[in-house]
Amino acid sequence: MNRGKMKAKTDQELQQQLEQTASGSHEVQAVFVLRPPGSSQKFLTPDQTLTMVENLLHRLQQETGESPRDYNVFKNLGSFVVAASPAFINKLLEQDEIASAMANRQPGSALIPPHHKRPV
């Protein structure tokens, strides 16, 4: 449950996307990294990750009356991606289970420019 103790680290791109779509009906896609429970555990097992995401999304659906359009759990990475309204994403960011979040869609090209080009 949200105890208000910890706030998820959020990248600037996600913050901008949330601000730009807050008044509209557009969805936002965000990747969330889970915080392991307790201070002694550094990583989540795949089963823990799956259970934590399902419980978290179910709890927020009950609280908000809203569901994400889509989500995918990266159980071996302790993270998941969600496509939902800005309000739902903001609610996720407030949860103690979330360590960090970033926009799923980042600006710029994925192409890595060549260095030291030479004719072939």
Q: Give residue-wise pLDDT tens across range 23-82.
A: 666 889 999 999 988 777 788 999 999 999 999 999 999 999 999 999 999 999 999 999
pLDDT at 109 (0 to 100): 58
| Cα–Cα distance measured from residue 120 to residue 100, given in angstroms and rounded to the nearest whole number | 44
pLDDT at 1 (0 to 100): 42
* CATH code assigned to 9-103: 3.30.70.1510
Distances, alpha carbon 40 to alpha carbons 23, 35, 43, 44, 106, in Å: 41, 12, 9, 11, 33
pLDDT at 3 (0 to 100): 42
Q: What is the pLDDT of residues 57-67, one digit of tens each?
A: 999 999 999 99
Is residue 34 a contact partner of residue 78, using CB atoms and an 8 Å limit? yes
| Cα–Cα distance measured from residue 72 to residue 74, given in angstroms and rounded to the nearest whole number | 7
- The arithmetic mean of pLDDT across residues 8-29, rounded, is 83
| Cα–Cα distance measured from residue 73 to residue 55, given in angstroms and rounded to the nearest whole number | 12
